[in-house]
């Protein structure tokens, strides 16, 4: 048994529903007990030291111990094209993304990129991601292998596209079904791996392909299904022209069996009233990707409105449309985007979104994203004074929220001083 001492921060409730000082559980002299790769107990340092005197004890001083970040929407194959200049969504896909994704026809390139990507996110304190792969089945194997090697919980799926993509980057309805099925049989619930059926988005799938993905999901309802929804106005208009019968963008998924509680929809900026109703009724997950939405010029997500209306929302980098691997930077961008809608998200809400909120959007909050006893021991330590600029601000802090907010707004991988995966230190 290991006993880690430090400041601890967890949540007993959702800070969007419960006042933040009741929802958050902060101990300035706290402790986390790890046993067999799981969190066994949390509490005050003095209490846990008294109860577990023989545990192997490490004192992290005033470092903040909290759950590892959960990044609910990423494209690991876009690692090498992050920060590519000057395009909006469709041009960005055609100019940068698709050419790069072609390179994943080479399994050794996929393996090297998966390693690079997971090392980067771990260094940034992200312990779980949900990733799109490419159309190549080997890109999925590469990713799950790399996650398994690090002991990480990972969600991923083969990205399916059968139109409006370059030759060499398209499958068919039948091959998408067969390949996805073989991959999910190989990976879903193998150790910490979970499979997500992954039609990229309606513009790159025919109705036949969406139908095939819906059929596969109906046969494997315990898998997630991840896709993109209403990210840019041009994209929404394109979907309308490709699917003239559809009531709206979501309807292109809904009529093909691709709406459900285990559905995870990236971006969701331009939603019509019917779409919001159906997403809420289905209990689907919406994923906000703020650095992507500003970088690609997509628009201003309505975090407060959607959550108040009962939507389940997670937070994500959307690497490489997003401009960062860091969930700290992503929280900062979420704060700024919400400010543009006149809402100041509290630091507790931002930290909750980056951990438990994202885990809930992926239906894995019973395992990761919290410090709750019984959950898998994926957690980090943060230095709340990691740079001179942050330190001079946080020393003025009157409480934990003022102490942590400068790190949310200005922090990066230098703030992440320790990363544990299933109770094992990784960085
Ligand atoms: N829509 C369809 N594919 C993508 C992608 O790779 N990135 C983003 N941001 N949006 C998409
Ligand atoms: Zn995406």
| Atom 8 of ligand 1, residue of closest alpha carbon | 321
Q: Residue 139: its pLDDT value, please?
A: 98
Verify whether ligand 1 is closer than 6 Å to residue 318 (CB atom): yes
CA distances for 267 relative to 74, 132, 243, 296, angstroms: 12, 14, 20, 12
Neighbours of ion ligand 2 (CB under 5 A): 266, 318
Q: Residue 206: its pLDDT value, please?
A: 98
CB 335, CB 408: distance < 8 Å: yes
Distance 341 CA to ligand 1 centre (A): 24
User: What tokens appear for 88 in the block?
Assistant: 């909006």
Distance 160 CA to ligand 1 centre (A): 12
Could you read off the pLDDT of 187-223 as tens digits, one per residue?
Answer: 999 999 999 999 999 999 999 999 999 999 999 999 9
In 10 A of CB 215, how many CB atoms? 15
Query: Using CA of residue 45, residue 48, residue 50, residue 54, what is the dihedral sign?
Result: negative
Q: Which residues of 91-124 are buried (b: 16+ CB within 10 A; e: fewer)?
A: ebbeebbbebbbebeeeebbbebbbebbebbbbb
List Cβ neighbours of 294 (8 Å cut-off, separation of 6 or more).
333, 336, 337
Verify whether ligand 1 is closer than 6 Å to residue 220 (CB atom): no
Residue 132 Cα: closest atom of ligand 1: 6
Verify whether ligand 1 is closer than 6 Å to residue 321 (CB atom): yes
Q: Residue 383: its pLDDT value, please?
A: 98
Instruction: Find tokens 């208009």 and name the residue.
Output: 237
Complete domains list, the chain, with CATH: 2-68+370-425 (2.30.40.10), 69-361 (3.20.20.140)
Verify whether ligand 1 is closer than 6 Å to residue 360 (CB atom): no
Verify whether ligand 1 is closer than 6 Å to residue 75 (CB atom): yes
| Atom 9 of ligand 1, residue of closest alpha carbon | 321
Instruction: Tell me the C-alpha distance between 85 and 272, whole Å.
Output: 31
Instruction: Find tokens 């190989």 and name the residue.
Output: 186
Verify whether ligand 1 is closer than 6 Å to residue 319 (CB atom): no
Instruction: Tell me the C-alpha distance between 231 and 278, whole Å.
Output: 18
CB 118, CB 148: distance < 8 Å: no
Distance 17 CA to ligand 1 centre (A): 31
Q: Residue 65: its pLDDT value, please?
A: 98
Verify whether ligand 1 is closer than 6 Å to residue 101 (CB atom): no
Verify whether ligand 1 is closer than 6 Å to residue 292 (CB atom): yes
Q: Across 99-223, where does the E strand assignment appear? A: 126-132, 153-157, 159-160, 193-199
Choose one of 200, 288, 320, 333 to mutate for the ligand 1 pocket test, by most ligand atoms within 8 angstroms of C-beta. 200
Instruction: Tell me the C-alpha distance between 34 and 5, whole Å.
Output: 11
HSE (CB half, 13 Å, CA atoms) of 339? 8
Instruction: Find tokens 């809608």 and name the residue.
Output: 341
Distance 32 CA to ligand 1 centre (A): 38
User: What tokens appear for 323 in the block?
Assistant: 């401009």
The 3 state secondary structure assigned to 339-388 is HHCCCCCCHHHHHHHHHHHHHHHCCCCCCCCCCCCCCECCEEEECCCCCH
- pLDDT per residue as tens, the chain (427 positions): 999 999 999 999 999 999 999 999 999 999 999 999 999 999 999 999 999 999 999 999 999 999 999 999 999 999 999 999 999 999 999 999 999 999 999 999 999 999 999 999 999 999 999 999 999 999 999 999 999 999 999 999 999 999 999 999 999 999 999 999 999 999 999 999 999 999 999 999 999 999 999 999 999 999 999 999 999 999 999 999 999 999 999 999 999 999 999 999 999 999 999 999 999 999 999 999 999 999 999 999 999 999 999 999 999 999 999 999 999 999 999 999 999 999 999 999 999 999 999 999 999 999 999 999 999 999 999 999 999 999 999 999 999 999 999 999 999 999 999 999 999 999 8
Verify whether ligand 1 is closer than 6 Å to residue 232 (CB atom): no
Ligand nearest to the CA of 130: 2
User: What tokens appear for 45 in the block?
Assistant: 């340092």
Instruction: Tell me the C-alpha distance between 228 and 21, whole Å.
Output: 34
Helix (H) or strand (E) holding 118: helix 107-123
In 10 A of CB 62, how many CB atoms? 12
Ligand nearest to the CA of 236: 1
Provide the residue count of the chain. 427
In 10 A of CB 80, how many CB atoms? 15
Ligand nearest to the CA of 90: 1
Continuous H helices in 188-320? 207-219, 233-242, 249-254, 273-282, 290-295, 303-308
Instruction: Tell me the C-alpha distance between 266 and 285, whole Å.
Output: 9
pTM value? 0.98
Verify whether ligand 1 is closer than 6 Å to residue 73 (CB atom): no
Residue 78 Cα: closest atom of ligand 1: 6
197 secondary structure, DSSP code: E
Instruction: Tell me the C-alpha distance between 372 and 362, whole Å.
Output: 17
103 secondary structure, DSSP code: G
Instruction: Tell me the C-alpha distance between 287 and 225, whole Å.
Output: 13
Distance 28 CA to ligand 1 centre (A): 41
Distance 264 CA to ligand 2 centre (A): 11
């Amino acid at each position: 048994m290991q006993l880690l001492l430090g400041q601890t921060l967890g949540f007993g409730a959702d800070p969007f529903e419960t006042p933040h000082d009741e929802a958050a559980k902060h101990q300035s002299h706290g402790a986390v007990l790890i046993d067999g790769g799981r969190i066994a107990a949390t509490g005050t340092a003095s209490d846990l030291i008294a109860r577990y005197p023989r545990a192997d004890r490490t004192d992290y001083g005033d470092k903040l111990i909290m759950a590892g970040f959960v990044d609910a929407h990423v494209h690991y194959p876009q690692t090498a094209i992050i920060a590519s200049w000057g395009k909006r969504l469709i041009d960005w896909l055609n100019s940068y993304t698709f050419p790069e994704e072609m390179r994943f026809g080479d399994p050794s390139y996929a393996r090297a990129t998966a390693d690079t990507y997971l090392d980067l996110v771990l260094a940034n304190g992200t312990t779980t991601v949900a990733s799109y792969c490419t159309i190549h089945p080997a890109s999925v194997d590469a990713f799950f292998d790399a996650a398994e090697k690090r002991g990480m919980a990972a969600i991923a799926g083969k990205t399916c596209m059968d139109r409006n993509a370059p030759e060499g980057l398209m499958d068919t309805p039948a091959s998408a079904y067969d390949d996805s099925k073989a991959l999910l049989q190989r990976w879903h619930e193998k150790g910490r791996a979970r499979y997500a059926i992954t039609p990229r988005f309606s513009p790159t799938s025919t109705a036949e392909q969406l139908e095939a993905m819906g059929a596969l999901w109906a046969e494997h309802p315990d898998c997630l299904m991840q896709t993109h929804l209403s990210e840019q106005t041009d994209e929404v208009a394109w979907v309308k022209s490709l699917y003239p019968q559809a009531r709206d963008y979501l309807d292109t998924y809904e009529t093909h069996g691709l709406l459900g509680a285990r559905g995870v929809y990236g971006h969701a900026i331009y939603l019509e009233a019917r779409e919001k109703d159906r997403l809420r009724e289905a209990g689907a997950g919406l994923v906000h990707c703020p650095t992507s939405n500003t970088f690609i010029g997509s628009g201003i997500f309505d975090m407060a409105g959607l959550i108040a209306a009962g939507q389940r929302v997670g937070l994500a980098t959307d690497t490489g449309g997003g401009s960062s691997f860091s969930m700290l930077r992503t929280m900062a961008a979420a704060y700024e985007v919400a400010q543009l809608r006149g809402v100041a998200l509290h630091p507790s809400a931002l930290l909750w979104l980056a951990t438990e909120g994202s885990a809930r959007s992926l239906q894995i909050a019973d395992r990761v994203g919290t410090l709750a006893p019984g959950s898998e021991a994926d957690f980090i330590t943060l230095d709340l004074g990691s740079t001179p600029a942050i330190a001079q601000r946080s020393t003025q802090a009157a409480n934990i929220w003022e102490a942590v907010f400068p790190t949310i707004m200005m922090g990066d991988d230098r703030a992440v001083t320790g990363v544990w995966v299933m109770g094992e230190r990784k960085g």
